[in-house]
Chains A and B, each alone.
Chain A
Amino acid sequence: MSRETKSEAGRRGFLRKGAGLGSAMLGAALGTNARAEPLQVAPWSKTPGEPALWHPYGQPSIFEKDVVRRSRGAAAMPGANSSMTPLQNLYGIITPSGLVFERHHAGIPQIDPQQHRLAVHGLVARPTIFTMDDLVRLPSVSRIHFLECSGNTGREWKGPGTASLQLSHGLLSCCEWTGVPLATVLEEVGIQPEGAWILAEGADSAAMSRSIPLSKALDDALLVYAQNGERLRPEHGYPLRLFLPGFEGNMSVKWLRRLKIGSAPFMTREETSKYTDSLPDGTARQFTFLMETKSVITFPAPDFRLKEKGFYEISGLAWTGRGRIKRVDVSIDGGRSWSVAQLQEPVLDRALTRFCLPWHWDGAATVLQSRAIDETGFVQPQARQLVDARGFESNYHFNAIQSWKVATDGVVTNVQV
């Protein structure tokens, strides 16, 4: 094995010190240059394994126990916190439901779907209460889209802010979402002509609320009850959430209980004092819905150490709230030259797109970067350009090109160049 995560490296270090197996372990860890050891018949090949229904709901291998969500730290209120997806451990574009990032404002409610209701009222012809059974009866669609918190990568505004890809970019996931187009339900209740905004409200104890433009609601918004083929997980809104493709994550209100149609935005706390983006002149941008074009290299990343020089496949993710990713460029020399990466199929509208580039590391120190270009031609910005446009206090919507420095010892660190 020529690449390993830091936790694996830590285990090996412990074993080396503790068991005195230093050279043997090191030899086993080195792949291409060390001579193979004679094969052995392993214990698990000599006895039948676990029965069917060992786990009625399947679990990852015990050897994958470190592939988990992580939080930056404890919050004042444990239920008002976030946890990050381990992007460094994932493949393809779909995030397993158990690894999808979390952001809650007052904890995870445990909602009985039989008792859950969606109320739709306000400027409508027919105020209506829907049960979950009602909603599931309506014609459904399934779509693969990314979900990203507007605070993702926010620690990078003032220079390298985190020591791991998971913590810098992990407020990002991509799932297949199944539900009813919101437009279907809005047609059922009949929007009055002056209707222009919708208050979306959760059934959590924060009664999380955001104003949604009616145009977005009619365009592509979904009332989602399933994720990656099964009903939503409690932490992602079970039994019902709003989903707004390409918009900042908090607007896709979880545990959705109410939609109220109005003529103007409702100016909730979450769209005034929070989720607004401060500028150097003291004003703040409001209703910054769109998640702009962004990419990041997920291997190599600070969560790994390269054990030796030689061949590696650089791999990463690109996404844009504007539609499809058109191209991703990768630089292996700190931005002096760029190569066009291969985009792995499928390349979907407002979904994560996996890119890769073969790379031969010569063992010299260098800086790796990726740069996404979307189908509108928009090019992912440099950190300097974002700071020039918005200063240092915007907190949200940081989508700069990310730089990973590879040192001669194979250690990868977060830098800005």
Chain B
Amino acid sequence: MSRSKLLLTLLLAGTAFVSQAQTYGIGHAASERDLAAWNIDVDANGVGLPQGRGSVALGQTLYAQQCAACHGAHGEGKPADQLVGGQGTLSSSNPVKTIGSFWPYATTLFDFINRAMPYNAPQSLSADEVYSLSAYLLYLNGIVPADAVLDAKSLPAIRMPNRDGFVSDTRPDTSNIACRQNCLPTPAAHP
């Protein structure tokens, strides 16, 4: 073993001894406080929801100011996504996928508005404002009543209409055969 390799081995062994499983000891220890500004995700159980609360009524006012220009006065969409309606269309030839018809978790609404909306000024809304907009959009979709007030406890308790509408990946779901000669033409997918 060369002198440099020996030194390297001793160095790595020493590092491992000091920091247990760390091999390289690179990076900077971070506290919850260090991470707080980025630690914004909300999971399907509502873990991560902040303190605060919001009403349908306040959400209606905020929606008109912050959202209607892209999503339509009543969530009908254009130019951005349609947010309201479509329930009962998913198995039709023209499925309309909205918060009310398609989204499986109300918590995702808070997470997404909070991280990415409004498009021109994301992360500018307060927790109360995001709760309010979530409440108003759920109200427009007939999921909560007009007097609903949402917070970290009530939002995850909402059961979305399409909660059970998702299935796992079952591919491969085709089994083509590599015919080489005298292959029969397949019927067209679109007659």
Q: Are the C-beta atoms of A387 and B189 separated by less than 8 Å? A: yes
Question: A89 near B: Cβ within 8 Å?
Answer: no
Quick one: which of A284-333 are within 8 Å of B by CB? 284-290, 292, 327, 329
Main secondary structure of the interface of B (DSSP, over half): loop
Q: Which residue of A lies closest to B178 (CB)?
A: A379
Query: Contact check: which of A128, A269, A288, A327 meets B169 at CB < 8 Å?
Result: A288
Q: Are the C-beta atoms of B185 and A417 separated by less than 8 Å? A: yes
Query: Contact check: which of B41, B90, B91, B122 meets A209 at CB < 8 Å?
Result: B41
Q: Are the C-beta atoms of A128 and B188 separated by less than 8 Å? A: no
Question: A411 near B: Cβ within 8 Å?
Answer: no
Q: Are the C-beta atoms of B116 and A280 separated by less than 8 Å? A: no
Q: Which residue of A lies closest to B180 (CB)?
A: A338
Q: Are the C-beta atoms of A283 and B165 separated by less than 8 Å? A: yes
Q: Are the C-beta atoms of A337 and B183 separated by less than 8 Å? A: yes
Question: B51 near A: Cβ within 8 Å?
Answer: no
Question: B174 near A: Cβ within 8 Å?
Answer: yes
Q: Are the C-beta atoms of A334 and B108 separated by less than 8 Å? A: no
In angstroms, how far is the closest chain A Cβ from the Cβ of B39? 7
User: How would residues 76 to 96 of chain B score, 1 for a CB under 8 Å from any chain A CB and 0 otherwise?
Assistant: 001110000000001101010
Question: B105 near A: Cβ within 8 Å?
Answer: yes
Q: CA of A371 to CA of B123 in the docked complex: distance in angstroms?
A: 47
Question: A366 near B: Cβ within 8 Å?
Answer: no
Question: B35 near A: Cβ within 8 Å?
Answer: yes
The stretch among A20-28, A259-267, A349-357 that forms the contact with chain B is A259-267
Question: A273 near B: Cβ within 8 Å?
Answer: yes
Given A269-B112, A285-B168, A125 contacting B190 (CB threshold 8 A):
no
Query: Contact check: which of B40, B105, B119, B185 meets A267 at CB < 8 Å?
Result: B105
Residue count of chain B within 8 Å CB distance of chain A: 68
Q: Are the C-beta atoms of B115 and A382 separated by less than 8 Å? A: no
User: How would residues 37 to 80 of chain B score, 1 for a CB under 8 Å from any chain A CB and 0 otherwise?
Assistant: 01111011000000000000000000000000010000000111
Question: B186 near A: Cβ within 8 Å?
Answer: yes
Question: A360 near B: Cβ within 8 Å?
Answer: no
Question: B2 near A: Cβ within 8 Å?
Answer: no
The stretch among A34-42, A45-53, A229-237, A389-397 that forms the contact with chain B is A389-397
Question: B6 near A: Cβ within 8 Å?
Answer: no
Q: Are the C-beta atoms of B26 and A106 separated by less than 8 Å? A: no
Q: Which residue of A lies closest to B160 (CB)?
A: A272
Residues of A within 8 A of B123 (CB): 207
Q: Which residues of A contact B (CB under 8 A)?
A: 76-77, 80, 105-106, 119-121, 125-131, 134, 137-138, 158-159, 184-185, 187-190, 199, 201, 205-207, 209, 257-258, 260, 262, 264-269, 272-273, 276, 278-290, 292, 327, 329, 334-338, 371, 373, 378-387, 389-390, 392-393, 397, 416-417
Provide 28 A-B residue pairs closer than 8 Å at the C-beta atoms, listed in order of the A residue. A76-B78, A76-B80, A121-B39, A127-B31, A129-B27, A138-B24, A187-B23, A188-B24, A207-B40, A207-B115, A266-B111, A267-B105, A268-B41, A268-B108, A272-B102, A272-B104, A282-B90, A282-B91, A282-B165, A284-B102, A286-B167, A286-B169, A327-B178, A329-B178, A329-B180, A337-B181, A338-B178, A384-B186
Q: Which residues of B contact A (CB under 8 A)?
A: 20-24, 26-32, 34-35, 38-41, 43-44, 70, 78-80, 90-91, 93, 95, 97, 99, 102-105, 107-108, 111-112, 115-116, 119, 122-123, 165-183, 185-190
